[in-house]
Amino acid sequence: MQTQEAQRKVAIIVSKGGLDEVYPALILGNAARMSGIEAVLFFTFYGLDAVTDKKVDHLHVNLVGNPASPIPTMIGGLPGMENLAASMMKKQMEDLDLPGVREMMEMLTDAGAELYGCQLAMDMMKIDQKDLIPQVADVITAGDFYEMADGAQIIFT
């Protein structure tokens, strides 16, 4: 009797909303789908910014408190520095032909990835499902996420 190989699966928890923090999750999700791996992305706490319609196009780069930042904390905390860093990062991504965050979300769902918002975080931040981009399939609890992630490799970003 032949056994069918189990479908590989990855479940990515997106908990941070900086431009530099969201892209790794989106790239991992996209790479999974391009490799035939099932992908579920769960957006929680500040990661919800990446799927909130009014915020997704305005993500910034977190400079303060980032030990890997080449910019000193005192300078990184000056008004406008995070937006400047985000503009520079977006320019570099354009030069590499990387799509923007909103387009990446569309690509992910078009490729079969599933995007979900975290119910608790949305309740805490007073975000309604209607505030999310249309690619978000549903708003679920952490318990629901664990059910979906059964058998998956879980990645926390």
Residue 4 resides in a domain:
no
Domain with 145, as residue range(s), is 9-156
Secondary structure of residue 110 in the 3-state scheme: helix
pLDDT band at 7 (very low <50, low <70, confident <90, very high): confident
Give me the residues paired with residue 101 across strands.
none
Q: What is the pLDDT of residues 97-152, one digit of tens each?
A: 899 999 999 999 999 999 999 999 999 999 999 999 999 999 999 999 999 999 99
What pLDDT, on a 0 to 100 scale, did the predictor assign at position 83? 80
User: Does residue 12 have a pLDDT over 50?
Assistant: yes
What pLDDT, on a 0 to 100 scale, did the predictor assign at position 6? 63
C-alpha 66/C-alpha 68 separation (Å) is 5
Q: What is the pLDDT of residues 45-92, one digit of tens each?
A: 999 999 999 999 999 887 777 777 777 777 777 788 878 888 888 888
User: Using the 8-state DSSP alphabet, how is residue 157 labeled?
Assistant: -
Q: Indicate the number of domains in the chain.
A: 1
pLDDT band at 44 (very low <50, low <70, confident <90, very high): very high
Burial class for 155, CB neighbours closer than 10 Å (0-12, 13-18, 19+): middle
Residue 2 resides in a domain:
no
Structure-token pair, residue 60? 């910034």
- For the chain, count helices (H), then strands (E): 6, 5
What pLDDT, on a 0 to 100 scale, did the predictor assign at position 2? 41
Residue 37 resides in a domain:
yes
Residue 1 resides in a domain:
no
Q: What CATH number is attached to the domain comprising 35?
A: 3.40.1260.10
Closest CA to 139 of 32, 48, 55: 48
